[in-house]
Amino acid sequence: MELSVVIVSYNVKHLLKNALDSLLLATEGLATEIFVVDNASKDGSASWLKTHYPQVNLIANTSNVGFSVANNQALRSAKGKYILILNPDTITPKNTIKEAVAFMEQNQDAGSLGVRMLDGNGKFLRESKRGLPTPWVSFCKLSGLYRLFPQSKVFNRYYLGWQSEFETTPVDVLTGAFLLLRKKALDQIGLFDEAFFMYGEDVDLSYRLTLAGYKNYYFPKVSITHFKGQSTKKLSYRYIRSFYGSMFIFARKYFLKF
């Protein structure tokens, strides 16, 4: 098995179809298994998947167990040499996965790889590559200082604003919307930390790969479209609690000593 793809889905059946259709085209010729973990969607996703995509390995949860737990459910069964964590609100061009896998083959120090992400209007998404959210980096992000100095190595380390969106380079953090992992590396460091319900788990995994001696490569030669924020409204209390709560969990785990 060359590739295992894991998609965690929650109430986005209308987008999941596009994600799966583009994924099937993008993995033609690769020995691939696809897992979809449905976190108790209320839009009929699970039954719809069984009918329309029988080739997909469906895990239908009876409650929303969060992103980390749901991914781990599939990862424990994944057999691929490489594992792709993919959001359901994405479209993957035909050449993206094969070129990404080829890069991983050529760069054995790569523990993970992320690609250039574009929103539905074709605009570059800055979270395609990020810096480690140390207390200072997090302060600059939360206070908005990074907006005042978008290309500064001091104030915009969160989005690595001085690096070109077209530059292939190792970075601190990649996003879980498209995260290609070397299974050997994942076996070494362990699965997602289930203390993170939503957001932050990709930061933690990227950091653990770095600590283990691997590199996280930003690879903008290929791209995906990411219709971000479909499962969580950006200004909702749930989003604010999950996002900033995850940053505190990360800081407490690695930087705060109390």
pLDDT one-digit tens code per residue, 134-180: 888 878 987 899 999 999 999 999 999 999 999 999 999 999 999 99
Q: Please state, in angstroms and rounded to a whole number, the distance separating the CA atoms of residues 3 and 97.
A: 10
User: At 246, is the pLDDT very low, low, confident or very high (cuts 50, 70, 90)?
Assistant: low
Ordered by where they begin, the domains of the chain are 3-129+165-228 (3.90.550.10)
Q: In the prediction, which pLDDT does 253 show?
A: 76
**Which pLDDT score is estimated for 254?**
79
pTM of the model: 0.90
Give the mean model confidence (pLDDT) for residues 193-220: 91
Maximum CA extent, the chain: 52
**Can you tell me the mean pLDDT for 179-185?**
98
Model confidence pLDDT, tens digit, residues 51-87: 999 999 999 999 999 999 999 999 999 999 999 999 9
Q: Which residues contact 234 (CB under 8 A, 6 or more apart)?
A: none
Please list, in sequence order, all residues whose beta carbon lies within 8 angstroms of the beta carbon of residue 116, skipping any fewer than 6 positions away. Answer: 124, 128, 165, 166, 218, 219, 220, 221, 222, 223, 224
